[in-house]
Amino acid sequence: MDTAVASTGTEEQKWGGGTKPLGVSYGKLMMWFFILSDALTFSGFLAAYGFSRFKFMEEWPLADEVFNHFPFLHGTDAPMFYVALMTFILIGSSVTMVLAVDAGHQMDRKKVAFYMLLTVIGGMVFVGSQAWEWKNFIAGEYGAVKTKGGNILQFLDVETGKRVALEDFTQIGPRDVVPYGNNKGIWFESSGDYNATYTIEEVKNGFAANSNVTIRTQKIEVNPETGASEKVVLSRADALVKLNKEAVGVVEGANLTENEYGAPLFADFFFFITGFHGFHVFSGVMFNLLVFFNVLLGTYERRGSYEMVEKVGLYWHFVDLVWVFVFTFFYLV
């Protein structure tokens, strides 16, 4: 049987890409490969977030209520203002990176250094802002209680409909301690679980004593009059019954297991995705800082090319673009 393979006539020809496939250098091509793989990773994370939010749509926290802090304006309701400022700063750093790349094409070392420095500063401000936002999210603002089923009950003023903090109607009561171990004169342990500021019994007593406070659940419904998504508010009588029958613990702030704003899964995704993006921004700042010092030392001037500035610029623009999607998914939609 004849197993010979027919000749195509191209066996002796070399690939036409040569040392610069697609007309770009090896370094740029590898950066594009990295960006593509990283984009797929972020896409998977955001797709998982979108699926989870769709599944728990009626319990998902309202972004306007979660991200409403602004530095030095404690108690002021400023929904999304600070996040919008963070976004503006990061996008502005992309502009300065474009100017740095353009200056590199002109072989203007001073301008490259200046715009790279502005880019580094913008990245540092963004990372610091994200850390401040995490701090507020973790610490919480009002506090809430959780039910046996893991749902969150928040407290409102009956007349104004505004959130009420636990400290506004709850007082710390007497707490007993019992001796622990042989050395009863030194070591003691509490007779209850006081990880939170208040116990569930203290919250129940404070709620019962303040008739101007009611409860709203984490379930979201559309208001037929305004068309806005709002959490279900209970009457005072129903709130008393629900609190006494179902509440089992106090929740203050957010972590990987509890979230005073609503579904705990929201906090899990928030920490993971924004943290992963924050790590990318921090890494980009370090890369840009290294390139900045090399520019000052004249490294790229001696090479006769500022291509390295273009490479870190590609990475920085990618990080900025990813934030646009993160911002849209977490804060706007």
The domain limits of the chain are: 22-141+265-332, 144-252
Tell me the C-alpha distance between 320 and 168, whole Å: 41
Environment class of 67 (CB within 10 Å of its CB; exposed 0-12, middle 13-18, buried 19+)? buried
Using alpha carbons, select from 267, 270, 254 the residue that is nearest to residue 143.
254
The pLDDT score that the predictor gives to residue 117 is: 96
For the stretch 252-288, pLDDT in tens is 999 888 899 988 899 999 999 999 999 999 999 999 9
For the stretch 89-112, pLDDT in tens is 999 999 999 999 999 999 999 999
Could you tell me which residue, 6 or 191, shows the higher pLDDT?
6
The pLDDT score that the predictor gives to residue 250 is: 92
Q: Does the pLDDT value for residue 186 go beyond 50?
A: no
Query: What would the mean pLDDT of 114-126 be, rounded to a whole number?
Result: 96
For the stretch 292-321, pLDDT in tens is 999 999 999 999 889 999 999 999 999 999
Q: Does the pLDDT value for residue 180 go beyond 80?
A: no
At residue 85, what are phi and psi to the nearest 5 degrees? -65, -45
Q: What percent of the chain has pLDDT over 90?
A: 53
For the stretch 189-232, pLDDT in tens is 444 445 678 889 999 999 999 989 999 998 888 777 777 778 88
The pLDDT score that the predictor gives to residue 2 is: 53
Among the ranges given (77-81, 185-189, 278-282), the one the predictor scored with the smallest mean pLDDT: 185-189
**So what CATH class is 22-141+265-332?**
mainly alpha
Environment class of 33 (CB within 10 Å of its CB; exposed 0-12, middle 13-18, buried 19+)? exposed
For the stretch 235-260, pLDDT in tens is 999 999 999 999 999 999 998 888 99
Using alpha carbons, select from 95, 18, 19, 84 the residue that is nearest to residue 332.
84
Among the ranges given (30-34, 35-39, 163-167, 177-181), the one the predictor scored with the smallest mean pLDDT: 177-181
The pLDDT score that the predictor gives to residue 175 is: 65
The pLDDT score that the predictor gives to residue 70 is: 84
The pLDDT score that the predictor gives to residue 173 is: 75
For the stretch 131-145, pLDDT in tens is 999 999 998 889 999
Q: What is the mean pLDDT of the chain?
A: 85
